[in-house]
Amino acid sequence: MSTTRRELLALTAGATAGAVAATGSPVWAHGSGAESWVATWASVPTTIPTRGTPTVLERQTVRHVVHCSTGGDELRIRLTNEFGETPLRIGAVHVALRDGTGASTATVAGTDRRATFSGHGSALIPAGAPLVSDPVRLRLPAGGDLAISIFFPERTTVTTLAAFAYQDNVIANGDVTAARTVVATATLQQDLFLSGVAVRQRGGAAIVTLGDSITNGANTVANLNHRWPDLLAARLRAARQDLGIANLGVSGNRLLHDPNPPAGSDAETFANFFGVSGLKRFDRDVLAQPGRRHLIVLLGVNDLGHPGTVAPPSEVVSADDLIAGHRQLIARAHEGGLSAYGGTILPFKDDTLGFYTVENERKRQQLNRWIRTSGEYDGVIDFDRAMGDPADPIRLNPAYDSGDHLHPNDTGMAAMAAAVPLRFFR
């Protein structure tokens, strides 16, 4: 299908939208006294597994529900075709306040807004690129929920997604982007081609949480927003510290290695959902966040546990390897003007995933000791001590255990949020 002149304009101007507003003033700047854009929600783009059947959309709308950390009077959304090999055609995008809680995808009457891209309601996103919308006038309260509806007019194979949303999103037939309620033909807990929301604020700033499944929210009850970054955002709001939080946790993520499932293993059906390494995705996921001022890092447990389970034994790492990786994150954060806070790795003795060994525990202790005592991070969040079993500190506290002795439950997520010193962000 040929590309129209209007779509070519969207390709060239829309793909770089966000540098300058209609007034000519910078709008994708980082937190300062002036008005700027601040991340309020984010997800990590990953690609589809090497084995399995991908989702295919055709003349369908995907309605996403996203829980925002901070608010504002204007917002913009970020779509992504990062892993697409051909341009992605977007027929329409609407955004509205979500009506209700839990699994509801209904919208609040009178809040529906059409999102545009360089002034146009449709767009073509180049292969491998993101696309940022024009500003949308909509009053979003801090801690509020948005319904973001994207219409795909052509047959579209989903190539770029965040596979673990822990929120029910729905697919509906036709262009129902503006409808208050939709009839779902499918429900999925994934974010498709959607990776961010930012709000305009005066003097605002954001915290980026870079992590794995524990930061992503694994094993929490879906639709309740009990990921520890969500609960940290609630603490900040209660303390009148108005900061955005961009949750850049992705299940299975490693600091040093990309997904590398052994050939022929079941891991080929899911490993690509783990995302590229923390070192590789740092610029895209951290430095590109609008308003980013603070970084919290919680990475390393999968580097210990994946080799020999869902990755080759040849990818075994040492504690020194992990420390070197963390040093890289600190250096790059500081170059980007961020304060960096290190989270100690949670205990996982007797986990059901096969991560725990005496040697892996020795490495965990060595890494945690360095995070606590080296002084290289700007501050330490001691998740290890907050989450350990008082009777056996190298095990996860049973009150916080989701059942696999590795991932916290909802109560554990609250304990993690409570372990973060709010003074870091004043």
Please give the average pLDDT of every successive group of 10 residues along the chain, which has 426 residues: 37 36 34 79 97 96 98 98 98 98 98 98 98 98 98 98 98 98 98 98 96 98 98 98 97 98 96 98 98 98 97 98 98 98 98 98 98 98 98 98 98 98 96
pLDDT on residue 24: 30
pLDDT tens sequence across 264-285: 999 999 999 999 999 999 999 9
Quick check: 256 and 169 in contact, CB under 8 A? Answer: no
Q: What pLDDT is attached to residue 33? A: 57
Hey, what domains does the chain have and what are their CATH numbers?
5-197 (2.60.120), 205-425 (3.40.50.1110)
Record the pTM.
0.92
- pLDDT tens digits, 52-94: 999 999 999 999 999 999 999 999 999 999 999 999 999 999 9
Contact 353, 415 (CB under 8 A): no
Helix, strand, or coil (residue 107) = strand
